[in-house]
Amino acid sequence: MPNTTSDAPLKILVIDENPIRRAILESGLRDAGFENLTVLDDATGLLDRIYKVDPDVILIDLENPSRDVLEQMFQVSRIVRRPIAMFVDQSDRATIEAAIDAGVSAYIVDGLKKERVRPILEMTISRFSAFDRLRSELEETKSALKERKIIEKAKGILMKSRGLDEEAAYALLRRTAMSKGKRIVDIAESLVSTIDLLND
């Protein structure tokens, strides 16, 4: 998660092949009080370099992003989970959609001015945090749903094999989990796996 606390300065990675645009970005960040900068003048071997730098935020400035670059950003976004702002000179709808799919938190077309750098950086971090929260909630919901399905399946097995009603089947799962010091879903999973193994 990006570090936005005031006691530890924000570590920002700037990637830009164009020296003039790179200077604008760097100057805008320094003027806004961001001193902890790492500047790269190309995007080769990006993932390894990001791991070494371990930035809180990534700002990448491209004239016209190719599909390969977007694919690389998708990989970076999925693996390192950091806010990414992408500045481009020109774009089309398909490229913007591809960038958003690639996990880019902010996609800024044209008009890189140094006074815009700070608000864009702040928006990138807040948008990333909101998406990250949603992604975590979605993963938790999916996980809870999967667990409930496994417990339902295990209850069904017990009801059929032991002639129990639903409440008694659940009570048996709960008792077994408590006596073994495990979660109900773990006991249910073991039961389902064993039955699946026997039925194969």
Span(s) in the chain for CATH 1.10.10.10:
139-199
- 16: β partners: 61
User: Quick check: 180 pLDDT over 80?
Assistant: yes
User: Quick check: 83 pLDDT over 90?
Assistant: no
Task: Give the per-residue pLDDT at 5.
Answer: 43
What's the start-to-end Cα distance of the chain, in Å? 44
Q: For 139-199, CATH number?
A: 1.10.10.10
Task: Give the per-residue pLDDT at 200.
Answer: 65
Summarised one tens digit per residue, pLDDT across range 19-53 is: 888 888 888 888 888 889 988 887 777 778 888 88
Cβ atoms of 85 and 39 within 8 Å: the answer is no
- The domain made up of 12-137 has a fold known as Rossmann fold (3.40.50)
d(CA 191, CA 130): 38
Cβ atoms of 83 and 57 within 8 Å: the answer is yes
Task: Give the per-residue pLDDT at 146.
Answer: 93
Summarised one tens digit per residue, pLDDT across range 89-138 is: 766 777 777 777 767 777 776 656 777 777 888 888 888 888 888 888 88
Span(s) in the chain for CATH 3.40.50.2300:
12-137
